[in-house]
Structure formats: C-alpha cells, structure tokens
Structure 1
Amino acid sequence: MKKRGWVWLVASALVLTTTAFAVAGSADSEVEAAYIEKDGLPVVGSYENLKKLLAKDLQQQKLMYKTTVAMESAPVAGSAEPQSAPAAANVAESAAADYSTTNVQVQGVDEADVVKTDGKYIYQATSNEIRIVQADPAGKMQLASRLSYTEGTFEPLELYVDENRLVIIGQSFETLAIKKNDSAKKVKIAPGYHNLHVEMLKAQVYDITDKQKPKLTRELEMEGSYLSSRKIGSNLYLVANHRINTFQIMEDLGDPAPMYRDQAPDKQAEPQKLPYGDIHYFPESLTPNYLMVAGVDLDKPNQKMKVHSYLGGGENIYASMENLYVAVSEYKNEMPKPSVSSSESNFAPINESVSTTLYRFALKNGNLDFSGKGSVPGNVLNQFSIDEHDGYLRIATTSGNIWRTDEGTSKNNLYILDRDLKIHGKLEGIAPGEKIYSARFIGDRAYMVTFKTVDPLFVIDVKKPDAPRVLGALKIPGYSDYLHPYDENHLIGFGKEAEAEKDIAYYQGMKIALFDVTDVTNPIEKFKTVIGDRGTDSELLHNHKALLFSKEKELLAFPVTVRTLSSEEKANRRIQAYGRFSFQGAYVYRLNLQEGFVLDSTITHLSAEDTLKAGDEWYDSKKNIRRILTIGDTLYTVSESLIKSQKLEDHQPISTLSLTK
C-alpha cells in the first residue's frame, strides 16, 4: 500500500471513549462566526469556533492528559495498538426471482451483508478477502476469483451486489511509527506514544461483468469508522462516526477537519478536507465526534460523492425509501432534591434521564439533505424500534432503570411523530419495571416484547396516530430478541427460554415461537420449540440478516451454536448451569400453520474430529456457518472455510467447496 502524505497525527494510545452527554448551556453565544443556514442548523465556521464549541470536553481531556503525562516517568511497556472498527455482518426470500436475498427491514431498501447471491454466484466478505464463487450448478461449484488485502491496510466488512456491480464496504488503516530520535517535543506528542494512525471508511466499486477478473472502477472514502449503510436502486448511502482527536486540538498538531476522497483507480485524487463552513453542529449534542454521511448515484460515474459532516455522533440507523434517520441518545444527570426528613437516606440515587434525538435526512438521487430533527423520552433499542409509515414516524423507547423500584423505575413507551418530527401521539408507561427486548411495526400494528422475569408480548394499535392503544398482551416465560412477520396475523419470535428463581430470571436455550394475533385482544403462542440449554446462541438474536425465511417454501433456517447439559446434569440441574458445546451449524425447519416448527435438517461444517477436540468450547470460528441461502431448489451453507450445497426437497448433500488457500 502506498504511503499517504495526507495522514495526520493521531495519538492512538490516547483513544478516549465517552457517552454522548447533553451539554447544558451551549457555546453558541461565544462562537463568533457561526451562522444559521437555510436548513436551520448552525455551522462550526472555523477551527477556533470548533475549540470553543468543545471547550467543556477539551478541559476534561486536558485534566486527563496532565495526569497521563505526570505518569510518564514510569517505564512504558509499549504503545497501544490501533483498534479496528467492529466487524459488521448476513439472507430472506425474493418474490421476483428464485433465489434468496438479504433479510432487510424495509422492502426496497437494501442492507449490506457478509454474503450475497445473484442467483448464479455467491459473494462473500471475510476479514481479508472477497470471494466470488460460481454456485450454480450446485454440483460444479468453483471459485471464480478472490480479492485479497494485506492485513492491517483494508478490512472488508460487508458488500452489495447489483447486476454487474459489486460494492465492498470496509475499513482502511494506516499506522506509521515515529523514529526514536524524534523527541516528544519535536513532534508535539506525549512521551511514550509513538503511533500515528488514520482510519477511513472505504467503499470499493467493482465491475464484475467478468467474474474471473473483477475490475476496480471507483473508490469512495471518508474519515471515520463504519456505522451503517443503505442502498436504494443505484443510490448508495454511507454513515460513519469519526472521533475527534482532542489531543490533536490541545497540542495544535494540525487541522482536525474530516477528510474524504472520491477517485477512479487510474486518476489518483488528493483527499479533501471539509471546510468548517460546511460542518454543521447539533446544539443539543456537542460531543467530540463527527457524524459523517455521504451519498452517491453509482449509475452516474461523473457525479461526485456528496459528503456532509455534523458535530455529534450516531448510534442507530433507520432508512425508508425517502428518508434516513440517525438516532442519538442524550443523557442528563440530576442530583436528587435534599430530603427534609432526617430519617430518609442522604444517599438517594442520582436521577438519570435519557432521551433520543432523531436527525432526518431526505434521500434523493444519491443526495442526503438534513430535513429536520425531533426528540422523544427514553432510549432506542435498535433499528426495528423505528418505523416510518404514511408520513408519520413511530418509535418505541425504554426510559428509567430496570433495577430501581421508585419513580425512576423503567417504563416503555411508544411515540408517533408528525412530518415536523413533533410528538403527535403517545403511549407511555407500558410494563413498568421491564425493558424492551424487541419491537416491530407492521402496518397499523406495533408489537413490543418486554422482559424482566416473563415475556409480555404487547399488540398495539397505531392506526390512529394521535391515539395509539394496547389491544392485547400475552405473558409467557422467556423473551424474543427479534420479531419477524409470518403473515398479517402471525409473528415469529426468536429469543431465549427463561426460568425464574426468587424473582430473578435466567435465560436457558434458544426459543423460537409462532404467535397468533388473529384475536388482537387475546394473542396466543401457537407453536414453540427450544434449542439446547443455557449458553446456546445464534447470530440471528443480534443480527436479523442471519435469517433465511420463505413462507412459500415453508422454509426457516439460521446459524446456531448449541450447548447442552448431560442427562445427569439435567437430573440435578441448577437453572444457572451452562451447557457444554455440542454443535455449530445451521438448523433448517419446515414451518407452516398446521405443524408448526419441524426440524428437517442440521448442517455443520465441523468434522467429527473437530467436535471431539472442541470439548466444552469451540473456538475455530472460520468453520462457523454464518449464512444460509437458496438458489432454485438448492440450499447453501456458507462459512469462511466451506460452502456446502444440498437439495431442498430431501436435504441430500450435493457438493462441498473448500475456500481455504
């Protein structure tokens, strides 16, 4: 990889993590050149204004820095290694073609994944390469090509496939060492810290007309770590968080404005720094972080990527066909009022309140334009807690603390916001003392699962935006981490079974349930099955893209790691006891409304020797099945090491392709 002259100094050993706390009394009045643009958001304006806006945070960092430097007389064991961005990841049935597609939240809004298929080829992203595999015909699977990357320079995370175009999204890194004869004073860096590190979100666009010779046609980069992305038709939208290096500002090591680059491989382009006049800020959330959003129409190679930067951070992303929303938690701590009665404790808990601010960006032809913001009490669990429908935004939140029993106890809420992102209707105080484990909006209904010792499934009517109301509830053991629609009157829940002991619930094996909500006032658990014992887990419980589901094919499949107790352990079981590793692979079910869940097949990429050697734990994740997909009447399971194919009808094996070099 070529050395980049534009890499700026970052003391990577001083990476500091903070929560997005709301700042009381913003620095607006002290910022000289800030002004309000037509979209209603103020801009940073200049480097000096940036320092003023972040003055409170910088002061805290200076105190920490002084403490750090004071300790420099002690021997240094070694400088910290740069931290990679967390890997992302992940497949449901396409009605228009006979192959499965990624399980997405909103139809028409594609989400990147580690595995995709176009009905002929399978595309896979691993930590250091991209594989393109000819999968059809299944009996003649072969590797068409692979794109390899030097470790530590670029890490593929996810990908998109669109006809003859492959988009790879990943994180690029460059770390430079300061020579020992460069004194700390000379380079203005704290003694003992000798790493220079830059991190960029990168999207590589390949022409894959010739699958054996993918051709790189474009590279899009912006500074920061990958948060999420969406693709609508040919329009690609990227979202990243870029942590501002406050040490760089304190020591005047250089301009901390974020960088971006859009280039063709044969036309090297210099990186561009966003001018401070184009960097906006959210007055309610002045944190040392840039939220980076970018969009581009990939069908228009001459259209430059549009990059926008906002002082603040992003946590959860939701996108409809028209808008993209970024949700950010804002925390405020209030000291309790002094007690008049001496009999009351002087150590009352601090009242912590949390709200969620939603920033909306209008999507059109590869452009993202800020179009409004709103706020609701409570915290958002994930993207499925947010939904846009008929011009309204619905959002489910949890406020308070699940372990408190006073007025600060947890409560669950549902808010409906109008086009101006003002609260139009609300339903508050659902299931006090519990918190949301999953939520799903489907048409005029919302489904919410809360949990502490049992699993209430709430059915909520949201047809009237100004008056949402609970229609019915079902209380059963366990909980659902993910809810997936089966049809308009049935819902599939994926989560954990649970058992309670002295008001404390302990999760057990993985639970799958089919809920019947035909009678909305009396929902029932029509079918359920439990896999393994305590410790059993599935990526599906944390990532919806791991699911393969086709109602038409009566097919349900997902990867799972199973832990089981021996018969003796079950006879003398404590509900806190964890099982031992017994299986990793795919569970494939037949699902219909007459039979429920029928286990048709279990598939593993582990050999019998692997299982014997595993003992209580299994560590070789390269053989873990990550995704299951279908092409025609063939089922494929994909791990980093193998692709296996088998017939859907009788699950007879067809072939196995090794992917290791």
Structure 2
Amino acid sequence: MNSNTILPIAVVIAVIATAGIIFGLGLSTQPEVTTTPTPPQVIYVNKTVSEIFEGTQEIKKISSESELREILTASSIFDGGFYDDRAFPTGGFVLEESLELERRSVQAGEPVPTPEPGFSSDTVTSQKGSDGMDYSTTNVQVENVDEPDYLKNDAKYVYIVSQNTLSIIDAYPAESAKLVLKIALDIESQWIQNMFLNDDRLVIFYNGQSQEEIIPQFDFIPRPSYSPVTHALIVDVSDKENPEILKDYTIDGHFRDARMIGDYAYFVTNKNIDHQYPRLPIIMESAEPLMVPDAFYFDNVERFSNFNTLTAIDIFGDTITSETFLMGYSGTIYVSENNFYLTYQQNLPYGFYEESSRDRFFDVVVPLLPQDLQNKIKAIKGDSSLSSARQWTEISEVLQDSYNQMSQSQKENLFEKIRKALADYDAKIQQESLKTIIHKISIDGDKLEYQAKGSVPGRLLNQFSMDESNDRFRVATTTEYYSQYSGMMRSNAVYVLDEDLKILGGLDEIAPDESIFSARFIGDRLYLVTFQQIDPFFVIDLSSDTPKILGELKIPGFSNYLHPYDDDHVIGVGRDTKEIGNDRVQQLGVKVALFDVSDVSNPMVIDDYIIGDSSTHSEALNNHKAFFFDKRKNLLSIPISSDTDSLEGITEKRIAPDWNRWNGFYILDLDVKNGIDLKGTITHTENDTRYYGMGNSRTFYIEEVLYTVSDSMLKMNFMNDLEEVNSIKLENTGKFIEYLD
C-alpha cells in the first residue's frame, strides 16, 4: 500500500477521536430547515458523521487490480479487517485477463470511448397504437420513464414472462383472443425478473449463475464455484410464432432494478466483493467476454460492500455502456428522463463504533465528574509512556477510589446525570449515523456521467419518497432511533436538494412517533401519509426551498399508495383501522379514498370505499403496478384476495369450508362528482385450486375491453358492463413449443 492510501485513513482516525466534542457544538452554516409547531428539540451537530468519514468525497477511477486491493485494504484497516473464506479461483475469466479488455462501448463491433464519470466527455399510461387504437400500459411513477414488469402489452398483443416461460397472446379483438406462443427460455433453475416492450423488441431480465472451478484454501481438488449474474436478453418478436434472441448480455451480480427511456434500457446490478481475491464485474455477450466497465470509488472509508454496476443498452443497436461504482449495496432507485439516482443506507465502518465508545467516556462522562477526578484522568490519558490497557487500568482505579469516598446519594445522583447525558449523546450519534446516501448519474442515450453524491437523514420508504423537479431533488424520510429514557423515537422530514445534492432546506419533525406509509410528489406539493394510530394526511408546499405544511387531515386508517387524480384531488389505497384500546389499532379492510385538496389548508375525504376485513389483501398495497386507474373512463381496478364471508355480494364457495377464499378484481367507478361506487367484480378463483392469495395481478385495457391478469388466467370483460368476453388459462403446464435459442 502506498502512503497516499494510508495517510487519509490515519487522518480520519485522528478526526474521529474528537467526534464527541464536535457533536456538542452548534452549526451556524446549516441550510434552513423549518420545523413543525411544538416539536422536540432538533440538534444540528458541527460536523456530520458523513463528513467525518467521507474524506473529500471525490470520485476516483480504479485503474488496476493492485489499486483495487489497496483501496479495500485501506478500508479494512478502519473496518476491523475482512475475513473471506472463498477459495482461490483456478480457472475462468479472472481480473488480470479482464483488464486486458479495453473498457469501452461497443457499437457495430467497433470500440467507442466511454466518457469517464465526473469528467466532460405517473399515471397508467394511455397510448394510441399505430392504427389509432386506444390502450393502457404499465402504471409508472415518472412520465416517459418506463418501468419493467412481468407483463407488457401494446394495442394487440400481450407478452407475459413467468418462471422460465414467455407467452405471447393475440389479445385483440377479445372475442378471438388466443395464445399464439408459449415458449421456454433455456434457463433451467433460474428465474425471470421482468421485461420491457419497445415496438417489436423485448428486453428480458433474469438472474442466473456463472460457474468456475476453484481450489479451496489448502485443498488440492478443483471444485465448482457459482456466482450470481444478470442476463439481459434482447428478443425480436416481430414474428410472434418465431421470436429470435438478438443479444444475450451477461453482467456480474444480482439484478436490482431497471428503467427504459426511448430506445435505451438502463439497469443496475449488485455484486458482492471478494475482499481476498477481488475481481471487477465483467460483461459477456453470448458467453464471450465483451468488456470490463470503468470502475470508480469514493474518497471515504465507508464500508465497501458491493460493486454497483449501471448499464445502458441500445435496444435497436449494438451499443452497450456500463460503469461500476464501489459503494454500499444500492437499494431504492429513482430515475427521471435525465438522471439516474442510486440510494442506500449509510453503512458505517466498525471503527466508528469503537471510537464512539472511547468518545462517550472522555467527552461525555469525564466532564461530569468532580474536577479533581477529571484532572487525574486527563493526566493519565496524556501520559504517552503508558499503553492503552495500562491507561484504562489506572483510570478505573482512580474512579473506584473517588466513588468510595462518595455517599450513596452522591453516587446515585452522579450516575443518573451521566446516564442521561449518555442517552442524549447516543441519540445524537444514532440520528447522525442513520442516513440515506444518494448518488446521481446523468443519462443521455448511451452516455453515463457521474454527477454528485449527497445524503439526507433517515430512511426511504420506496421510490415514491423521491422526486426530481427542474434542478431540485426532493426526498421524504423517516428517522428512527432508540433512546434509553424515551424508547423508540420516530420522526419524518422532507428535504430539498440542489443539483449537486446539497441540502438547501427542509421541514423536519413531521408527525413525531409515526412513520411514513406513503408519499407522492406532484408538482409543487408533497402529499404525505404517516401512521401510528390514526392516518394524518399532510399537504406540504414545495414551491420554495423551505417546505411548509399547508394542511392536515386526520382520519382512521392509512394509505399505502397515493395516485394523482388531478391538480385538486388524490386517490389513496390502503387499509381501514379502528382503535381497540391500550393504544392498540386493529387493521380492517382494504380502503380506497378520494381526497379533495382544492383547499390546501383544509384537505378532506370526498368518499371512500372499504373492501372486506382484516383477511382481505391487495397487491396494490405494496406494488403500484397492480393499481389501475383511468380518469377519462372514471375506472379503477385493484386485485383482491379475501375470505369469501367478508365480501359483500360474493357468493362463490370454495372446495372446503377452510378454503372459502375469493381471488379477483374489484372494479370501481370513481369521479369527484359522484364519489366511489362498486361497478362490479371479476373473479379469478377456480374450483380446483386451494391457492391462497393472488400475486402478479395486473389490469389494462385495449379499446372497449378491460383485461385482468393473475397467475392463473387472463380475463377479458367489456368495460361498460363488465360482461365477460373471453378468458385464457396461463398455468405453466402443457408442452412447450420449443426452447428459444
């Protein structure tokens, strides 16, 4: 390891030794963060945990295997070292070979330089087909940014991937709908994740495994070793009966998530690091090495736990661009038309907690001791001739001697004062360490360019906790930490960041002791639902960099998903609740609510509709792609699985009393004038099944026909009266036509 690597670590450790003192100071240069009325005290520390541990935060390129080893070794010094019992690989495509490949984009077989990062170089979408036909597609968060799903459709065909099969259905006209093709992808024991549809091209993602032979440590027999990989198949489906695989890209790591903008698909993979024998991620095409993406790390000592690889592929061409970042395990993503945001929870090195224990004593306990005792401890600490162990032995002796001279009441008062101070200190440390890290990468076709890194206190709920608006990035988070005297403490906040991901302002201490259950950014407003016992629905103004609460509504229940209706109305899907005493709440049926926010200071519920009881579940509660709403048609559809007895108007009985389970879709009429009414139900329950629940549930329409899809079937009903037109079974049974090669 060279001195340039060792020095920053030494400096950081020296800085950490003073962390306790720093945390006690005020900060005069904080961005303006407003606070809700009568909140608990908010303490801003002079230097955040992130600043202490992130060095210059500068992005740097990893140029070689030896440099990668140095980076990981430097990190391990403060992280307590790494133990890795993986065996040494003896075959396969290893790093030294991979670095011989030019890091590049590949276009028509010719190398094209890739710009280095950091350097110059929602609605259910309704569409018109080429023949003017009206149809809907996947419910997405950001307009023009498609999200992957197991089902995709156009104005005529439906494409479904399930387990290892691809089904193509000629869906319109519905009266003559039929299964055109059911074909097996040659991916035994591997699972399809989801896909995109772009004209006559599918991009199918699935997780697989790569295999190489290794010799375990101190062994002599080569043994197989498996590592996760992600496949991205580009399939031409212009001939529905004879689809053709055009590209089969393989990227090291687990599939995380993806988006499609125009003719480019962008996706993220996570690869664990073998700290003993590190190897950069590799991209293969048809099992042949293609490229090693440029790899980058950040000047900090955060626990490097993963390679996070962002890849862009041209669906209609030969271009593939990819870059790898050494950082925490990426979680929730947010993607606009111009930027890709990777986020994860801050993962502090073990050394932080070791130094924190030392700081707790010298910076919190010692100042509360009698002055003469403080002087003795400081003298021992300053004696460089003593080892750390000997220093503590002498400190503990003078502590004990001092305690022996105190009365019992003096000791109890002192110990209580110290406990409270430590509780406050620990709470500050927890609050500062619980952060969400955000990385911003600009995207433009095949161009990827790293832009900025930032952080906000707390954790995200999901992708709807983030939003980009012009040059601002808005984030809603929940902070949770444990206090010895107060128990679990919770609060919520919204932050406004600039294009460099620096916090400009925020609003914290929203709904103390509650957690965010749903969030939706719409224009200059944030609609936020928190929950503990009741459902506060907040309307928050984001027209400036200093957010403020405009209005609040408290009602029983909560919403898990919020969907825009228009500028003055929002739809919520969640659960009804009731209080049952002793600060306990019972969850009841699935609830659809229509909020009126035209008077922002006084939001109200126009109407709601409750389905079933606590036995009732809907995939729409945790997956927005299962939610369907079309404002022009005033039609809302959500999948429902419930005990039959809890549902009004449902008479189907199952094969046994214990299996009176109904699976299907509730179709609701919804508009601001008439509220919410049940239009009808569409059952997806079969008499010969004991299947409990219903997953992979989707709704879409083509012209006048509503299509509902579950694991077992595709049903077609006229939208005006829900009369059934046709149905197709989708079970993975029967003989496959052939394997798709």
TM range (shorter): 0.7 to 0.9
Distance 1:206 1:492, change over 3 A: same
CA deviations on 1:604-647 (whole Å, 9 max, x unpaired) are: 2222343xxx4xxx4486xx561111111111122233211111
TM-score (norm 2): 0.71
What is the match of residue 283 of structure 2? 260
Counterpart Cα distance in 1 of 2:237 and 2:302: 43
Distance 1:620 1:564, change over 3 A: closer
Partners of 1:557 and 1:589 within 8 A in 2: yes
What is the match of residue 476 of structure 1? 555
What is the match of residue 313 of structure 1? 329
Secondary structure of 2:218's match?
helix
Secondary structure of 1:258's match?
coil
What is the aligned counterpart of 2:676 among 597, 606, 618? 597
Is 1:223 equivalent to 2:252 in the alignment?
A: yes
Partners of 1:206 and 1:214 within 8 A in 2: yes
Secondary structure of 1:270's match?
strand
Is 1:514 equivalent to 2:537 in the alignment?
A: no
Counterpart Cα distance in 1 of 2:715 and 2:673: 30
Q: 1:91: Cα distance to partner?
A: 8.9
Q: Read off the aligned partner of 1:585 and give its amino acid letter.
A: G
What is the aligned counterpart of 2:266 among 229, 232, 237? 237
Distance 1:582 1:365, change over 3 A: same
Distance 1:230 1:52, change over 3 A: same
Partners of 1:532 and 1:562 within 8 A in 2: yes
What is the match of residue 449 of structure 1? 529
What is the match of residue 69 of structure 1? none
Q: Read off the aligned partner of 2:704 and give its amino acid letter.
A: D
Q: 1:57: Cα distance to partner?
A: 8.3
Counterpart Cα distance in 1 of 2:663 and 2:226: 37
What is the aligned counterpart of 2:607 among 518, 527, 530? 527
Q: Read off the aligned partner of 1:208 and give its amino acid letter.
A: V
What are structure 1's unaligned runs of at least 5 residues? 1-24, 31-35, 67-89, 568-578
What is the match of residue 288 of structure 1? 305
Matches within 5 A, 1:328-477: 328-330=344-346, 337-338=364-365, 341-343=414-416, 350-351=426-427, 352-353=430-431, 354-401=434-481, 406=486, 409-465=489-545, 467-477=546-556
What is the match of residue 80 of structure 1? none
What is the aligned counterpart of 1:186 among 186, 200, 219? 219
Distance 1:237 1:197, change over 3 A: same
Q: 1:398: Cα distance to partner?
A: 1.1
What is the match of residue 173 of structure 1? 209
Counterpart Cα distance in 1 of 2:683 and 2:506: 47
Q: 1:174: Cα distance to partner?
A: 4.3
Is the deviation greater in 40-49 or in 513-522?
A: 40-49
Counterpart Cα distance in 2 of 1:343 and 1:592: 60
Counterpart Cα distance in 1 of 2:449 and 2:703: 41
Q: 1:299: Cα distance to partner?
A: 3.1
Is the deviation greater in 45-54 or in 483-492?
A: 45-54
Secondary structure of 2:625's match?
helix
Report how many residues are paired: 568
Partners of 1:379 and 1:399 within 8 A in 2: yes
Is 1:626 equivalent to 2:697 in the alignment?
A: yes
Counterpart Cα distance in 1 of 2:146 and 2:320: 22
Counterpart Cα distance in 2 of 1:244 and 1:28: 24
What is the match of residue 69 of structure 2? 48
Is 1:649 equivalent to 2:715 in the alignment?
A: no
Partners of 1:108 and 1:232 within 8 A in 2: yes
Secondary structure of 2:219's match?
helix
Counterpart Cα distance in 1 of 2:644 and 2:491: 35
What is the match of residue 107 of structure 2? none
Partners of 1:356 and 1:378 within 8 A in 2: yes
Distance 1:403 1:115, change over 3 A: farther
Partners of 2:634 and 2:671 within 8 A in 1: yes
What is the aligned counterpart of 2:124 among 80, 92, 115? 92
For the pair shown, which has the larger CA radius of gyration, 1 or 2?
2
Q: 1:544: Cα distance to partner?
A: 0.8
Partners of 1:481 and 1:541 within 8 A in 2: yes
Secondary structure of 1:409's match?
strand
Q: 1:492: Cα distance to partner?
A: 0.6
TM-score (norm 1): 0.79
Is 1:269 equivalent to 2:288 in the alignment?
A: yes
Counterpart Cα distance in 1 of 2:417 and 2:259: 53
CA deviations on 1:436-462 (whole Å, 9 max, x unpaired) are: 111111011111111111110010111
Q: 1:391: Cα distance to partner?
A: 1.0
Distance 1:324 1:274, change over 3 A: closer
Q: Which has the higher contact order (CA 8 A, sep 6+)?
A: 2
Counterpart Cα distance in 1 of 2:463 and 2:707: 28
Distance 1:245 1:433, change over 3 A: same
Distance 1:328 1:188, change over 3 A: farther
Counterpart Cα distance in 2 of 1:639 and 1:415: 39
Identify the structure with the greater helix proportion: 2
Distance 1:134 1:581, change over 3 A: same
Is 1:635 equivalent to 2:716 in the alignment?
A: no
Partners of 1:44 and 1:279 within 8 A in 2: yes
Secondary structure of 1:305's match?
strand
Distance 1:454 1:204, change over 3 A: same
What is the aligned counterpart of 1:503 among 583, 593, 598? 583
What is the aligned counterpart of 1:203 among 224, 232, 236? 232
Counterpart Cα distance in 1 of 2:293 and 2:524: 43
CA deviations on 1:520-558 (whole Å, 9 max, x unpaired) are: 000001111111111322111111111111000111012
Is 1:129 equivalent to 2:165 in the alignment?
A: yes
Distance 1:537 1:590, change over 3 A: same
Distance 1:498 1:60, change over 3 A: farther
What is the match of residue 339 of structure 2? 323
Distance 1:537 1:57, change over 3 A: farther
Counterpart Cα distance in 2 of 1:343 and 1:563: 54
Q: Read off the aligned partner of 2:228 and give its amino acid letter.
A: E
Counterpart Cα distance in 2 of 1:59 and 1:459: 46
What is the match of residue 161 of structure 1? 197
Secondary structure of 2:442's match?
strand
Secondary structure of 1:419's match?
coil
Distance 1:65 1:214, change over 3 A: closer
Partners of 1:114 and 1:159 within 8 A in 2: yes
Q: 1:154: Cα distance to partner?
A: 3.6
Partners of 2:165 and 2:184 within 8 A in 1: yes
Counterpart Cα distance in 2 of 1:544 and 1:282: 37
Partners of 1:392 and 1:419 within 8 A in 2: yes
Counterpart Cα distance in 2 of 1:135 and 1:515: 35
What is the match of residue 148 of structure 1? 184
Counterpart Cα distance in 1 of 2:322 and 2:730: 37
Partners of 2:72 and 2:304 within 8 A in 1: no
Secondary structure of 2:70's match?
helix
Q: 1:510: Cα distance to partner?
A: 1.2
Counterpart Cα distance in 2 of 1:534 and 1:619: 15
